[in-house]
Structure 1
Amino acid sequence: MKLEIGNFLIKDVIFGEKTMFNNGILTINKEEAIAFIKEDEHITDVDIVIAKPGENTRIVPVKEAVEPRIRPDGRAVFPGVTGDIEMAGSGRVHALKGCSVLGVGMHYGSFGDGLIDMGGEGAKYTLFSQLINICIVADTDEEFERFEQQKKNTAIRMASHKFAEYLGATVKDKEPEEVEVFELDPVIKRTEEVNKLPSVVLVMQPQSQMEALGYNDEVYGWDMNKYVPSFMNPNEVLDGALISGSFMPCSSKWSTYDFQNFPTIKELYKEHGKSINFLGVIMSNLNVALEQKKRSAIFVAQMAKSLGADGAIVTEEGYGNPDADYILCLAALEDVGVKTVGISNECTGRDGASQPLVTLDVKANALVSTGNVSQLIELSPADKVIGELQALARDGLSGGWSYDEILGPSVREDGSIIMENNAMFCGDMIAGWSPKTMKEF
């Protein structure tokens, strides 16, 4: 499968008379864009706000991030979600680089929502402070979940995917500034030179624990709670086959933007044919019951062994209960002779003294940590808030609270905040962006 991603580098995003892309400037007709978003009858109120790097702007509650893209041949950017189900991973897709569409709650947040600071101390905690963010700030008629801590956020999340495709259409018929090419030969038809290299497979564990459908990540529009581990071409991941869900504390989340640009996949591609033979992706899942976790680990280990993998990278979206899936998978791979490295965040408590993962195994002896979800973060007031700051305290965002007997309220009267890293939008960057390092004491 050969995938070409034609990149258009965004220098600025502005509002204007016509929605178009020209000389690095994305112009949006705000009135027409709002009318497009409100075609979904569940969106009752919406505004579009542009947030740029370096501004003293705080965005919360953020529910989703999507890179604007379009397929010149007319196929859906997200098959099974924004259009018909067709195989992703081949052909040409055009992408607007340096920006994202953010789905933001106008009035209500959720356990899996997060916060982005575009400037100041908070900017270092999330990749999205480095992008120009086109924020869909919306309210919906989903009153049945309005005061629920855990929300599906369906209308706002789906609006984000559709609007990203809407903006991508501005470059449908243009020539990109650069083209990235991703292509792997079939596993059993590679050259002798490539086959002599150590073979490596990437095991991904997207969030799929909610047995009630609608909260989980989706693959080709299929709720991944119904999924079993399968072998996928990495191009499918980069090309819209997966979208993010609404479940899991936000710093641990993979947004759709993460799937579209998954850095670990791109790094493995860079080394393919040089230092490794990149076999592809075993797309696994995260489960609730122990027997389900064991079954998935068996599937993953069998596939890796059958593919002839010498080594594997395992990465999980989440922590806590998913740690059991993560460690079982690592151990199962080691048991069949596949040398394995794990990538995840950890939960060591606010004091850093707790056990980092819920379960451990002596075979899991090569682990990469992307940070502590419970780390306390204090941030000064922002000049501007996009969304609703009080959602951090009122609505059960995983890193905020209404009142703590020691720390007081998460949102203070002057607009400053204290929160756990948990609520930083995709803050632990488990997809492979993370600049964090570890210190030994």
Structure 2
Amino acid sequence: MRLEIGNFYVNDVRFGDINSYSQGVLTINKKEALDFIMEDDSIVEADIVIAKPGESKRIVPIKEAIEARVRVDGRCLFPGVTGTLEQAGDGKLYALKNMSVMAVGKHWGSFGDGLVDMSGEGADYSYFSKLINVCLVANTNEEFEQREQQKKNRALRWGAMRLAEYIGRSVKELIPESREIFELTPITKRNKNTTDLPSVVYVMQAQSQMEMLGYNDLLYGWDMNRTLPTFMHPNEILDGAIIGGSFMPSSSKWSTYDMQNLPTIKELYSEHGKTLNFLGVIVSNLNVSLEQKNRAALYVAQIAKSLGADGAILAEEGYGNPDADFIACFCALEDAGVKTVGMTNECTGRDGKSQPLVVLNEQANAIVSCGNVSQLLYLPPMDEVIGEFESIGRDGLSGGWEGDEKLGPSVAEDGSIIIENNCMFCGDQVVGWSKKTVVEY
């Protein structure tokens, strides 16, 4: 497979009379864009709001983020989701960098929704504070789940994907400012210089815990609760084969934007043929029962061993119950002779003294920590809230609460907030964005 991504670097986003891109400035015709979004009868009211790095703006509740792109051949960005089921990972597409399209609730939030501060201390806790975020702020007629803590958020998530495709069309006929080429020679056809290097596979444990369909990550449109571990070309991940779900606590989730730009995959690509032989990606699931967890671990280990992997990078989306999958997979890989390094967050409590993972094992002795989900954050007011502030405590957002006997409500009268890191949108950045480190005291 050969994937070519032509990049356009967005320095500013404005509203104007036409949809266009020129010299770093993206212009959006707001009325036309909203008319396009409102073609979906499920969306009953909508607005588009722009949030830029450094602005005194707080975005909540955020449900999803996507990179705006367009395929040169006219195919959809997310096969099996926003269009027909076709092969991802091969061909040419254009991407608008330094920005995202966000799905934001105008009123109702849920357990898997999160928050981004565009400035101040809170901006350090999410990669998305560094991007210009085009926020689709909308309400839907999905009244059956408005007051449910767990929401599928289907209409808003699909609306943001469609908006990302719509915005991407503005660069379809232009010449990219740079190009990235992602191409791997088939494993059995590689030269000796490459095959003599340590062979490494990337194992992605994508979220699939909910047995009721509609909450989990989707693989080519297929609910990942219904999948088994499978070997995939890394280009497929970068090219929209997986979209993020709406289930996990927000800091630990992987957005679709994360999948499209997955830093660990790109880093493995950059080292391929130099320090390692990048075999590809094993996409695994995170199901609920012990039998399902053990079955997935056996599949992963068998695939890695059959590929001839010397080492693996293992990353889990989520924490708590998925820790059992993470450690089971870790041990199965080690038992198969595949040296493994894990990437995960921790849940060590607000005081940082609790056991970091629900399950531990001596074989899991090389883990990169991406921070404590329960860390308390005290953040000052922002001048503007995009979305609805009250959702933090009212709607069961992970890391927020209506009242605490010691800390009081998450949202103070002056607009300041007390939350757990859990609430920060994709804040743990297990996919590889994370700047967090461990300090020994």
Q: Which residue of 1 aligns with 2:200?
A: 200
Shift of 1:187: 0.8
Q: Which residue of 2 aligns with 1:295?
A: 295
Shift of 1:22: 1.3
AA paired with 1:46?
A
CA distance in 2, matches of 1:279, 1:356: 30
CA distance in 2, matches of 1:174, 1:222: 33
Q: Which residue of 2 aligns with 1:394?
A: 394
Pairing 1:30–2:1 present: no
CA distance in 2, matches of 1:342, 1:436: 15
SS of the residue corresponding to residue 266 of structure 1 reads helix
CA distance in 1, matches of 2:121, 2:285: 35
CA distance in 1, matches of 2:41, 2:211: 27
AA paired with 2:180?
E
Q: Which residue of 1 aligns with 2:275?
A: 275
AA paired with 2:399?
G
AA paired with 1:322?
P
Residues 41-64 of structure 1 deviation map (CA, whole Å, 9 limit, x = unaligned): 000000000000000100000000
Between the two proteins, the alignment pairs up a number of residues equal to 441
Shift of 1:23: 1.4
Alignment of 1:31-110 (within 5 A): 31-110=31-110
Q: Which residue of 2 aligns with 1:127?
A: 127
Alignment of 1:307-326 (within 5 A): 307-326=307-326
Q: Which residue of 2 aligns with 1:357?
A: 357
Residues 308-358 of structure 1 deviation map (CA, whole Å, 9 limit, x = unaligned): 000000000000000000000000000010000000001000000000000
AA paired with 2:129?
S
Residues 254-305 of structure 1 deviation map (CA, whole Å, 9 limit, x = unaligned): 0000000000000000000000000000000101000000000000000000
Residues 152-195 of structure 1 deviation map (CA, whole Å, 9 limit, x = unaligned): 00000000111000000011111100000010011111001100
Runs of 4+, deviation exceeding 2 Å: none
AA paired with 2:324?
A
Shift of 1:82: 1.1
Residues 109-160 of structure 1 deviation map (CA, whole Å, 9 limit, x = unaligned): 0000000000011101000000000000000000000000000000000001
SS of the residue corresponding to residue 322 of structure 1 reads helix
AA paired with 1:316?
E
Could you tell me which runs of 5 or more consecutive residues in structure 2 were left unpaired when the two chains were aligned.
Answer: none
SS of the residue corresponding to residue 349 of structure 1 reads coil
SS of the residue corresponding to residue 392 of structure 1 reads helix
Q: Give the TM-score normalised by structure 1.
A: 1.00
SS of the residue corresponding to residue 188 of structure 1 reads helix
CA distance in 2, matches of 1:267, 1:353: 33
Q: Which residue of 2 aligns with 1:369?
A: 369
Could you tell me which runs of 5 or more consecutive residues in structure 1 were left unpaired when the two chains were aligned.
Answer: none
Alignment of 1:221-240 (within 5 A): 221-240=221-240
Residues 342-387 of structure 1 deviation map (CA, whole Å, 9 limit, x = unaligned): 0000100000000000001110000000000000000001100000
Tell me how large the CA RMSD over aligned residues is: 0.5
Pairing 1:258–2:258 present: yes
CA distance in 1, matches of 2:123, 2:368: 23
